[in-house]
């Protein structure tokens, strides 16, 4: 059985306290990184951005449709201007009659195209309004996400700073232990999740359970410098006459 002076065993509780604090800080950092507000806002933002993307495509398609309508009207107007110029120039009666008929047909065509153009313009205005509204939603969510992220980052920075400070204290304290005792503690910490705990009035603070009379009898037989372990949690049990 490994041995260490009672005073040295007692100092293991200080090391365990720092390890416990480091574990708690790690948990705090993990909780901060997994802040549910971040995932919720990121999900909402992703959906809003996808909707904005679809509206942008719809807007571009409608703008292209309007350009085509404008081109169609422009072509008809151009042809009407040519016909009117030819009509004004005079000519054979048969040709003039054909030009007048063509102009009447073009006028009807122009009216239909301008009606269609107006309908496209109205749709373009409606799509533009919907896109502007969705853009505002995206910007709002981006703002909210940025605020929450900054809040989380600030809290995380505090936790990491405290973790760094605690780790420095832990390292300095660990260096003050004899290698053999530290190795036993480190191995126990790695395997059991807790390296050392008090045996306080028959209760192991490592497991939180009252030890059986048989276990207590075995421990009481061990020399003060012997390292004993909790039968339930497996951690080093630190004894003291003040705790009995």
Task: Return the residue matching tokens 């030890």.
Answer: 211
| Same domain, residue pair 117 and 195 | no
pLDDT given at position 92: 58
Percentage of the chain lying above the pLDDT 90 cut: 80
| Same domain, residue pair 161 and 219 | no
Task: Return the residue matching tokens 């416990």.
Answer: 20
Evaluate whether residue 183 is within a structural domain. yes
**pLDDT per residue over 105-155, tens digit each?**
888 888 989 989 999 999 999 999 999 999 999 999 999 999 999 999 999
| Same domain, residue pair 95 and 151 | yes
* pLDDT, average across residues 3-17: 96
* pLDDT, average across residues 1-11: 90
Order the strands of the 196-200 sheet from edge to edge: 209-210, 203-204, 196-200, 236-238, 228-229
Evaluate whether residue 172 is within a structural domain. no
**pLDDT per residue over 229-239, tens digit each?**
999 999 999 99
| Same domain, residue pair 51 and 129 | yes
According to the per-residue pLDDT averaged within each range, which of 33-47, 62-76, 90-104 is highest? 33-47
Q: What is the CATH number of the domain that holds 63?
A: 1.10.287.1700
Cβ neighbours of residue 128 closer than 8 Å, sequence gap 6 or more: 59
Q: What is the pTM of this model?
A: 0.75
| Same domain, residue pair 126 and 47 | yes
Q: For 62, list phi and psi in degrees, rounded to 5.
A: -70, -40
* pLDDT, average across residues 55-80: 93
**pLDDT per residue over 142-161, tens digit each?**
999 999 999 999 999 999 99
* CA neighbor of 197 nearest in space, from 151, 229, 150, 241: 229
Evaluate whether residue 140 is within a structural domain. yes
Evaluate whether residue 170 is within a structural domain. no
Evaluate whether residue 205 is within a structural domain. yes
Evaluate whether residue 171 is within a structural domain. no
Helix, strand, or coil (residue 209) = strand
Evaluate whether residue 59 is within a structural domain. yes
Residue 241 has pLDDT above 90, yes or no: no
202 contacts 169 by C-beta, under 8 angstroms: no
User: In DSSP terms, which residues pair with 148 in a beta bridge?
Assistant: none
| Same domain, residue pair 185 and 153 | no
pLDDT given at position 8: 96
pLDDT band for position 80 (50/70/90)? Answer: confident
Q: For 238, list phi and psi in degrees, rounded to 5.
A: -95, 120
Evaluate whether residue 1 is within a structural domain. no
Residue 87 has pLDDT above 80, yes or no: no
pLDDT given at position 1: 58
| Same domain, residue pair 138 and 182 | no
pLDDT given at position 161: 98
* CA neighbor of 42 nearest in space, from 190, 177, 142: 142
Q: Which domain holds residue 94?
A: 35-165
| Same domain, residue pair 137 and 97 | yes
Both tokens assigned to 83:
């016909």
| Same domain, residue pair 42 and 21 | no
**pLDDT per residue over 158-210, tens digit each?**
999 999 999 999 999 999 999 999 999 999 999 999 999 999 999 999 999 99
pLDDT band for position 79 (50/70/90)? Answer: confident
| Same domain, residue pair 225 and 148 | no
| Same domain, residue pair 204 and 97 | no
Last residue of a domain, one of 140, 165, 190: 165
42 contacts 83 by C-beta, under 8 angstroms: no
| Same domain, residue pair 60 and 127 | yes
Give the CA angle between residues 55, 57, 61 to the nearest 5°: 115
Last residue of a domain, one of 117, 136, 165: 165
Q: Total structural domains in the chain?
A: 2
């Amino acid at each position: 059985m490994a041995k260490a002076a009672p005073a040295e065993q007692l100092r293991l509780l200080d090391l365990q306290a720092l390890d416990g604090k480091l574990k708690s800080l790690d948990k705090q950092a993990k909780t901060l990184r997994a802040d549910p507000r971040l995932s919720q806002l990121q999900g909402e933002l992703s959906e809003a951005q996808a909707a904005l993307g679809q509206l942008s495509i719809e807007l571009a398609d409608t703008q292209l449709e309007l350009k085509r309508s404008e081109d169609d009207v422009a072509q008809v107007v151009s042809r009407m201007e040519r016909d009117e110029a030819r009509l004004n120039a005079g000519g054979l009666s048969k040709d003039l009659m054909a030009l007048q008929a063509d102009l009447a047909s073009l006028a009807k065509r122009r009216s239909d195209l301008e009606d269609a153009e107006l309908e496209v313009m109205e749709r373009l205005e409606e799509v533009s309004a919907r896109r502007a509204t969705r853009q505002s939603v995206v910007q709002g969510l981006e703002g909210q996400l940025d605020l929450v992220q900054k809040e989380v980052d600030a809290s995380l920075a505090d936790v990491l700073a405290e973790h760094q400070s605690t780790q420095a204290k832990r390292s300095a304290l660990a260096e003050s232990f004899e290698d053999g005792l530290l190795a036993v503690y480190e191995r126990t910490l790695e395997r059991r999740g807790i390296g050392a705990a008090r045996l306080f009035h028959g209760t192991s603070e490592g497991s939180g359970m009252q030890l059986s009379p048989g276990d207590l009898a075995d421990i009481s037989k061990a020399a003060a410098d012997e390292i004993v372990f909790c039968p339930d949690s497996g951690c080093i049990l630190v004894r003291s006459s003040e705790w009995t």
